[in-house]
Structure 1
């Protein structure tokens, strides 16, 4: 148990831990909506309430998860830039702490996920657009082929416009420009 909790009565401690657990559960459920497992969401929530960096052993012991599961969860949170690996004075173990800026967490999470999806989708659309144009040029006298490929080309161009807009949205998240339009609450 944390030293900061030592001066509490059992009732106070129980109430505090119950309130924290409610928030941890809420964080876990929220992250689950975005494709992060509930247990990794709970891990982040647990780390959020720590007053300083923690080791895998400490997290594993407190949460009752295996060190392997804990390591996988930590790696996921590191990849999403939601936690940082930090140096622990006098210890050879790795320590981890939450990146406390939820706005930055949101920006990093969605930028990473969306950028990957946009890149893949734009690549597929551009490849299809090139193929459709080549198909139309392969038989320029075929009116039916011309009309069908022109229809598809129009649809693909509209989709590409959306993905270019989404790229700009991602850029604004990464640069912080989004907060010029939707300011952070002070």
Structure 2
């Protein structure tokens, strides 16, 4: 007995509509990652592929130029949302979606947060040093002293926040975050 390898037109329509809905949703929400809607659609299309694709195949599927596909894929690779893969006998580069969305989220936000943390901590520490030096040079000026102390307190609170963010980033990078917020919700009971 031979198994049927095809699906009906009605089943195909339901399947394609379900996929299109998810792809559209992904595209709309990719601004969270600083990605355009069209690159989000590319990611969504790749998500539903069951095999790696070349730029030419993506361009044909998305009806976009190879240049646009190249730019979009490069963005997704840089964000670690798409991986370049090797396949025996393939002459062109192949790409597939990183299926571990937990890792994608961790990688993306760790990278962005770490950059912001370093920039802001550097500015805060430099300003704190300058203000402390200003206090030392003008220790008799009570009005200046009061103003600078308020600013120093604000800077110390900001530094405290960024040191906390540094620990949070470490927890994302090490995977320890999942000890506190498990990937799967505990059973409801």
When structure 1 is superposed on structure 2, of 132-141 and 103-112 the one drifting more is: 132-141
- Matched residue of 1:92: which SS? coil
- Matched residue of 2:91: which SS? coil
* Equivalent position of 1:96 in the other structure: 95
Superposed CA offset, 1:156-184 (max 9, x none): 00001001101111110110000101111
Number of aligned residue pairs = 181
Gaps of 5+ in 2: none
* Equivalent position of 1:151 in the other structure: 150
> What is the distance in 2 between the residues matched to 1:73 and 1:39?
8
* Equivalent position of 1:3 in the other structure: none
Question: What is the correspondence of 1:9-48 to structure 2 with a 5 Å cutoff?
Answer: 9-48=8-47
* Equivalent position of 2:110 in the other structure: 111
Say yes or no: does 1:51 pair with 2:54.
Answer: no
> What is the distance in 2 between the residues matched to 1:89 and 1:7?
28
- Matched residue of 1:85: which SS? strand
* Equivalent position of 1:128 in the other structure: 127
* Equivalent position of 1:66 in the other structure: 65
> What is the distance in 1 between the residues matched to 2:9 and 2:51?
23
> What is the distance in 1 between the residues matched to 2:53 and 2:46?
8
Q: In the TM superposition, what is the alpha-carbon distance from 1:88 to its structure 2 partner? A: 2.5
Gaps of 5+ in 1: 1-5
Instruction: Report the RMSD for the aligned CA atoms in angstroms.
Output: 1.4
When structure 1 is superposed on structure 2, of 6-15 and 112-121 the one drifting more is: 6-15
Superposed CA offset, 1:5-59 (max 9, x none): x722322222211110100111112222332211111111111100011111111
When structure 1 is superposed on structure 2, of 172-181 and 37-46 the one drifting more is: 37-46
Q: In the TM superposition, what is the alpha-carbon distance from 1:69 to its structure 2 partner? A: 1.6
- Matched residue of 1:8: which SS? coil
- Matched residue of 1:33: which SS? helix
Superposed CA offset, 1:64-103 (max 9, x none): 1221221111111111111111112212210011111111
* Equivalent position of 1:173 in the other structure: 172
> What is the distance in 2 between the residues matched to 1:33 and 1:183?
22
> What is the distance in 2 between the residues matched to 1:135 and 1:57?
62
